Amino acid sequence: DAGVTQSPTHLIKTRGQHVTLRCSPISGHKSVSWYQQVLGQGPQFIFQYYEKEERGRGNFPDRFSARQFPNYSSELNVNALLLGDSALYLCASSWDDQNTQYFGPGTRLTVL
Amino acid sequence: SQKIEQNSEALNIQEGKTATLTCNYTNYSPAYLQWYRQDPGRGPVFLLLIRENEKEKRKERLKVTFDTTLKQSLFHITASQPADSATYLCALGGGRGSNYKLTFGKGTLLTVNP
């Protein structure tokens, strides 16, 4: 079975631009969560979606938004990019919102 | 605020020895604790989950303990191999007000020397 997939793998943007990251969960998983990981730190929670509804939001500015589609895939959008947004963005899926989360390979975002 | 500390940023051991990693937390009552392995530039890989009512869990060469009184988890890798070299992350979840998110420690970089 395919694991969590994310696209693109790498992305380079300049300050002020907008970016959209995509995630496809493991088949049968209904919950998707997004995390940001900067170098040397553990992943930081951004959003969790379950059955297309936002279930939780971390301490991130309104420039960050996300949504989940009927097929349970998800998008993370970041507007007005800052240098500090450079990080590995991780998507994780789980069967529901209370179980083990399985991570994708991540999208490496570099903001210049 | 919730705080998770993993005992050291880096741990070096000899092949064949047991690696013991520590995860301590404060201001949190998690429903479960998970350990992940992460290789450079890759996403975390799930290893083990232990719930608040469990004391110990094993999987092959891995063992996790969970002491909710001490607010501590220990993660052991027995008969360590160079292939076990990676960063190991502790993550807590499911507690009151957590919205079922995972809260991670910074990780411990384990190096197993041949």
- Per domain, the residue ranges of chain A are 5-95
Beta strands A102-103 and A87-94 are antiparallel
Q: What is the mean pLDDT of chain B?
A: 91
- What is the topology classification, in CATH, of domain A5-95? Immunoglobulin-like (2.60.40)
Identify the band that residue A103 occupies on the pLDDT scale cut at 50, 70 and 90.
Answer: very high
Over residues B33-52, the mean pLDDT reads 94
Largest CA distance in chain A: 38
Identify the band that residue A1 occupies on the pLDDT scale cut at 50, 70 and 90.
Answer: low
Helix ranges (DSSP H) in chain B = none
Res A98 pLDDT > 80 = no
Identify the band that residue B20 occupies on the pLDDT scale cut at 50, 70 and 90.
Answer: very high
Count CB-CB contacts under 10 A for residue A38.
Answer: 13
Identify the band that residue A95 occupies on the pLDDT scale cut at 50, 70 and 90.
Answer: confident
Question: A interface mutation test: which of B28, B88, B96, B102 has the most A CBs within 10 A?
Answer: B102
Among B58, B39, B102, B1, CA closest to A94: B102
Q: How close does chain A come to B5, measured CA to CA in Å? A: 11
Lowest mean pLDDT among A43-47, A70-74, B5-9: B5-9
Over residues A23-51, the mean pLDDT reads 94
Task: Note whether B106 contacts A42, CB cutoff 8 Å.
Answer: yes
Is residue A59 classed as helix, strand or coil in its secondary structure? coil
Task: Note whether B45 contacts A103, CB cutoff 8 Å.
Answer: yes
CB B113 within 8 A of CB B13: yes
pLDDT number for residue A56: 87
CA distances for A34 relative to A48, A63, A90, B61, angstroms: 6, 14, 6, 30
Over residues B18-40, the mean pLDDT reads 92
pLDDT number for residue B94: 76
Nearest CA in chain B to A3: B45
pLDDT number for residue A10: 96
pLDDT number for residue B98: 56
Six token digits for residue A19? 């970016």
| B1 contacts in chain A (CB < 8 Å) | none
Question: A interface mutation test: which of B99, B106, B109 has the most A CBs within 10 A?
Answer: B99
CATH number of B3-109, picked from 3.30.450.40, 3.30.56.10, 3.65.10.10, 2.60.40.10: 2.60.40.10
Task: Note whether A56 contacts B100, CB cutoff 8 Å.
Answer: yes
